[in-house]
Structure 1
Amino acid sequence: MYEHAQSASPRAWTVRALALLSAVIIGLIPWADNAAAHGSIVDPAARNYSCLDRWGHDHLNPAMAQQDPMCWQAWQANPNAMWNWNGLYRENVRGNHQAAIPDGQLCSAGRTEGGRYNAMDTVGNWHATDIGNNFTLRLYDQASHGADYFRVYVTRQGFDPTTQQLRWSDLELVRETGRYAPAQNIDISASAPGRTGRHIVYTIWQASHLDQSYYFCSDVNFR
């Protein structure tokens, strides 16, 4: 039984087109990698997608260093982490996610893709999206491969993402889904009672076409 998916989002297409255009101009995007990749959590946005969404049109602006220092350090470390916003995955994990990804490396999927996404693990004051205790995640799956399942975790109350590295023991599983049919937009509802303030929503997307697992850190502020 498949769960429900949503129709394509014009905003997602706009951001995607902007990313591709900018990448062509500066010659940074590795086309082969991008063709093999699929998607990301776009709301509340995963770290690299969030940095692309807000700075992809102006990523060389030195003002970013003061206005958005966590995205600044990510762009300086590896711009391809943003241009390849849809490629933060590992293959052949066989469902053993904790064995594949060490503590402190959850946001980079265990330093996947040769370390392209390592800056996502940097501890600091990342831009956070305001959400309620009952919230909805949106996956933009560019290649429409669907999902075997999603696992949605939220950090435990008392964890401070601005000063602490993320460990598996910091997370509480708040939702595990069934399968989703291929679609470009998939919405996943979840609930995290008792949370207030800053947290990380950590999402695992097990894609359906291969043993390919995606890992996303979304910075949030529970209102």
Structure 2
Amino acid sequence: MTTLRHDQTSARGWTLRALLAVLAAATLLVTPWSTPTASAHGSTADPVSRNYACWQRWGSDFQNPAMAQEDPMCWQAWQHDTNAMWNWNGLYREGTGGNFQAFIPDNTLCSAGQTGDGRYNSMDNPGAWKTSQISTNFTVDVYDQARHGADYLHVYVTKQGYNAQTDALDWGDLELRQSTGRYAPGEHYTTNVSAPGRSGHHVVYTIWKASHADQIYFFCSDVTF
């Protein structure tokens, strides 16, 4: 049997401790996009929300200067707050008690009232957001990564005559077109919506109340009827 000298044993112990320290530090240095906020859940997948769509199109190439010309509204959003775009699933408010209009002023609906530190404020800016092509009878699909369920969905659609490229969204621009009951926990919550008399660029505004806590999510989805 080989007997280790005390200095050899100490050296090996120090090496192990150093390795563990390095691994611990590496664990802390996780980039913000690799681990979304723990309380975040999801977004509208169809018609896709502004923030989720920008992440889908540019999440793997967000420093590409071509975005400024090809997708200028997403470009301004990424420039405003990169971390917000990586955390596309965290656009929610707490403590509203369902009284949305008291907490979310006009012109700030797409950022949920410029919630928190203002990271989602770029969502409020009107402009040439890329749109999903839909008919006036369509389905809203909310994607819930954490499977916490839904107490309800409310789906609003902008009235005919609203100009999404020049006018930040107000409550008065919207018409409630669908309200649902509860959904059991799952990845997707869908509801059918009818919005007759619309054509052109509109905004579908979806409100999702997560069942597990006082968290209400607010999504702006740009569509062309």
1:92-103 paired onto structure 2 within 5 Å? 92-103=95-106
Paired amino acid for 2:32: L
8 Å CA contact retained: 1:44, 1:219: yes
SS in 2 for 1:179: coil
Compute the RMSD of aligned alpha carbons. 1.6
Aligned partner of 2:108 among 100, 105, 111: 105
Larger Rg: 2
Residue in 2 aligned with 1:210?
213
Aligned partner of 1:153 among 151, 156, 159: 156
Aligned partner of 2:181 among 169, 178, 182: 178
Counterpart Cα distance in 1 of 2:37 and 2:47? 22
Deviation at 1:141, TM superposition (A): 0.2
| Distance verdict in 2 for CA 1:201–1:163, change over 3 Å | same
Paired amino acid for 2:207: I
Residue in 2 aligned with 1:28?
32
Paired amino acid for 1:102: P
Matched, 1:56 2:33: no
| Distance verdict in 2 for CA 1:25–1:220, change over 3 Å | farther
8 Å CA contact retained: 1:161, 1:199: yes
Residue in 2 aligned with 1:123?
126
State the TM-score, normalized to the length of structure 1: 0.86
Counterpart Cα distance in 2 of 1:43 and 1:210? 24
Deviation at 1:82, TM superposition (A): 1.4
Deviation at 1:29, TM superposition (A): 3.8
SS in 2 for 1:139: strand
SS in 1 for 2:38: helix
Cα offsets for 1:16-70 (capped at 9, x unmatched):
xxxxxxxx99933495x61111110011111010000111111110000000000
Q: Which has the higher strand share?
A: 1
Counterpart Cα distance in 2 of 1:120 and 1:161? 12
SS in 1 for 2:151: strand
Aligned partner of 1:201 among 195, 200, 204: 204
Paired amino acid for 1:205: W
| Distance verdict in 2 for CA 1:206–1:69, change over 3 Å | same
8 Å CA contact retained: 1:28, 1:79: no
Deviation at 1:117, TM superposition (A): 0.3
Residue in 2 aligned with 1:169?
172
Counterpart Cα distance in 2 of 1:151 and 1:114? 25
**Alignment gaps of 5+ in structure 2:** 1-27
Counterpart Cα distance in 1 of 2:48 and 2:85? 12
- Name segments (4+ residues, structure 1) moved above 3 Å: 28-31
Matched, 1:188 2:199: no
Counterpart Cα distance in 1 of 2:106 and 2:157? 15
**Alignment gaps of 5+ in structure 1:** 1-23
Higher relative contact order (CA 8 A, sep 6+): 1
Residue in 1 aligned with 2:90?
87
Counterpart Cα distance in 2 of 1:113 and 1:79? 15
Deviation at 1:175, TM superposition (A): 0.2
